[in-house]
Amino acid sequence: MDVFLEHDCEWSRPSIVARIAVAHPLHSKTTENLVAEAEQLHARGIRFVVVRRQQLLRIGPEVLSDILADAGISVSCVGFAGGFTGAMGMSYERAATDVRRAIEQAAALGARFVVVVPGEQGLHTYNHAEKTVRMGLADAIHFADQHRIQLLIPTDTVLNSAADCFRPNQCPLSWIEQLRSPTIRPLIVVRGRNVLGCLPAGWRESLAHGGCLRVCHRCSSYHRNSRQLAGILSFLARNDRINGFEQLLAES
Q: What is the DSSP letter of 168?
A: -
Considering only CA atoms, give the Rg of the chain.
Answer: 18
What does the alpha-carbon distance between residue 28 and residue 129 come to, in Å, rounded to a whole number?
Answer: 35
pLDDT at 196 over 60: no
**Domains of the chain, with CATH numbers?**
2-251 (3.20.20.150)
Instruction: List the single range of 88-92, 180-184, 194-198 with lowest mean pLDDT.
Output: 194-198
What does the alpha-carbon distance between residue 132 and residue 99 come to, in Å, rounded to a whole number?
Answer: 14
pLDDT tens for residues 63-99?
A: 999 999 999 999 999 988 988 998 888 899 999 999 9
Q: How confident is the model at residue 193 (pLDDT cuts 50, 70, 90)?
A: low
Q: What is the pLDDT of residue 241?
A: 55
pLDDT at 117 over 50: yes
Considering only CA atoms, which of 241, 232, 237, 243 is closest in space to residue 1? 232
Residue 73, CB-side half-sphere exposure with 13 Å CA sphere: 29
pLDDT tens for residues 6-22?
A: 876 544 555 666 678 88
